Amino acid sequence: MRSEQQDEQDRAGSRCCQDSAPIDGPSRGSDFPPYERCPPRSRLYGLAPREMGTIWSESLTSYLNRLGWRHGVSPRALVAQEIVPHLSNDYPHHHLAAFSRGTAMSINGNGNVALEWSSILERLTAHSNLHVLTLHGWIGDLSSRGHLREKPSWCPVCYTEWREQNIPLYQPLVWMFQVVTMCPQHKRRLQDHCPHCQKHQSVIALETFPGHCTQCNTWLGVDLNSPREPEVDNETLRWQEWVVSTLEELRLANSLTGALSWEGFFASVERCINVKGGCSKLTELTGIPRTNFYLWLGRMQASYNNYTPSLEALLKFCYTCDLAPLHIIADASSLVQFVQGGAPPQHLPFHRFERESVDRDRCLQFILAVLDGREEPLGASQVAERLGHSQRALLRYFPQECILLTKQAQEYRKQRRKLYVERVCEEVRRAVMSLHAQGIFPSHRRVRTQLSNPNFMRMPEASAAWHAARREIGLDGEL
């Protein structure tokens, strides 16, 4: 890991000039030698990305967040003021909050969004090559869907160690890959929800600090002396180590070639399934249905023509075949040799119809908090959503608790509805009494105009309250 001091050294060659930003270079007003010796000026601080050119390379959204913090403003405010005005028209200008919490991960992808944001940031910071902080720097021309997680994840041990060593906290791009589930350094599962509020993290932070939950500002590191979580099994460990080393190979190949082309990969698959019996054999050895291969090769109906498999699907395929993607790309006969050799495939730590993996302790803890009233009352489907699982998975492991959650949520909704109706009826009664006191006949129309919401009178309970109040003042039966 690099230190803050190294960061400062990097910045020496990229001074910035921005009114509110710290300026650590010579100013224009001093008796500084000729202007031509001044380094180029940038609007925003020329913050150096962390660990550029390594497997720990920073993600572009992490860079964006750090840039905001370095300017002493919330990253989202920086985006609103400095980036949004430069974005193309198809960007949802008015939905920055929803974008920051939702689809902003595409800033790290390898589509047009990533290109646009990186080039704007390059212009604003005078830092070139920021696009390598996105998937453009890693996976070449593989299309952009399904490679990244929807929400950021992190390693709590990394955060704690960096803080103890006074290293600036950031989010490496490798943590954002869907296929990476463990920290390459600590062999510990990456986290994707806050241990305190259970919520996922915003991609672009609002008012919180680095390494803290973007929803409740709780520190996301871990006490290094606390008991370690259960060890990851060896198969998963081996698979994850292979994934990380393969990603590093892809990143290197991508930086050497400028943009890695996957054309050779799909040509190899095509050649393999065109061999007599090749497709059946490939399906048998890898467990991947033959329709998937047809999808990969665009042989399905037109609506599937733009389908490109996710990096995760491709890496699982390569791992099973015990072949590196670069090997398959470079050697068109590698897959044919694999099926003809009939080599036993590598066993993945998951199956084709893998069951969703569920952290039962974490789920139970949250379910109990809801049932005990320490969390707001939520139904089973809402709990599943908050925990990031399907309702089916929750039902499988916690059938009894799900029944209790549903009952509790129904009871809560019933109670809430009762209070609401009582409030509406009381408002109707007060309106009748007030009109009557003013000598105005409390007709349906007049009472309606007195209410905070005229539609209340459509409720049967409100209508009954109107009749009851009229009876109370001796107008029963008059309409």
The residues binding Zn ion (CB under 5 A) are: 155, 157-158, 183, 185-186, 194, 196-197, 213, 215-216, 218
Contact (Cβ atoms closer than 8 angstroms) between residue 23 and residue 14: no
CB of 380 to Zn ion, least distance (A): 22
CA–CA separation, 457 and 476 (whole Å): 17
Contact (Cβ atoms closer than 8 angstroms) between residue 118 and residue 133: yes
CB of 174 to Zn ion, least distance (A): 10
CB of 153 to Zn ion, least distance (A): 11
CA–CA separation, 53 and 49 (whole Å): 10
CB of 140 to Zn ion, least distance (A): 27
Q: How many CA atoms lie within 13 A of 159 on its CB side?
A: 20
Residue type, 392: R
- Which runs of E-coded beta strand occur in 229-305? none
CB of 205 to Zn ion, least distance (A): 12
Of the two residues 158 and 167, which places its CB atom closer to Zn ion in the complex? Answer: 158
Residues forming a β-bridge with 177: 148
CA–CA separation, 205 and 217 (whole Å): 10
Q: How far apart are the first and last CA of the chain?
A: 81
CB of 234 to Zn ion, least distance (A): 19
Of the two residues 68 and 184, which places its CB atom closer to Zn ion in the complex? Answer: 184
Of the two residues 207 and 426, which places its CB atom closer to Zn ion in the complex? Answer: 207
Contact (Cβ atoms closer than 8 angstroms) between residue 61 and residue 107: yes
Of the two residues 155 and 384, which places its CB atom closer to Zn ion in the complex? Answer: 155
Contact (Cβ atoms closer than 8 angstroms) between residue 195 and residue 82: no
CB of 250 to Zn ion, least distance (A): 21
Of the two residues 216 and 259, which places its CB atom closer to Zn ion in the complex? Answer: 216
Of the two residues 81 and 165, which places its CB atom closer to Zn ion in the complex? Answer: 165
Of the two residues 118 and 240, which places its CB atom closer to Zn ion in the complex? Answer: 240
Contact residues for 389 (Cβ-Cβ < 8 A; gap 6+): 356, 358, 363
CB of 324 to Zn ion, least distance (A): 25
Of the two residues 114 and 155, which places its CB atom closer to Zn ion in the complex? Answer: 155
CB of 201 to Zn ion, least distance (A): 8
Q: Which long-range contacts (CB under 8 A, 24 or more apart) does 400-408 make?
A: 401/364, 401/367, 401/371, 404/371, 405/367, 405/370, 405/371, 405/378, 405/379, 405/380, 406/379, 406/380, 408/370, 408/371, 408/377
Print the SS3 string covering 24-61: CCCCCCCCCCCHHHCCCCCCCCCCCCCCCCCCCCECHH
Of the two residues 157 and 279, which places its CB atom closer to Zn ion in the complex? Answer: 157
CB of 195 to Zn ion, least distance (A): 8
Sign of CA pseudo-dihedral 421, 427, 431, 433: positive
Pair of tokens at residue 317? 């395929």
Of the two residues 194 and 329, which places its CB atom closer to Zn ion in the complex? Answer: 194
Other Cβ atoms closer than 10 A to 393:
17
CB of 194 to Zn ion, least distance (A): 3
CA–CA separation, 117 and 111 (whole Å): 10
Residues forming a β-bridge with 154: 191
Of the two residues 75 and 325, which places its CB atom closer to Zn ion in the complex? Answer: 75
Rounded alpha-carbon distances, angstroms, from residue 250 to 55, 139, 214, 257, 315: 10, 6, 32, 10, 11
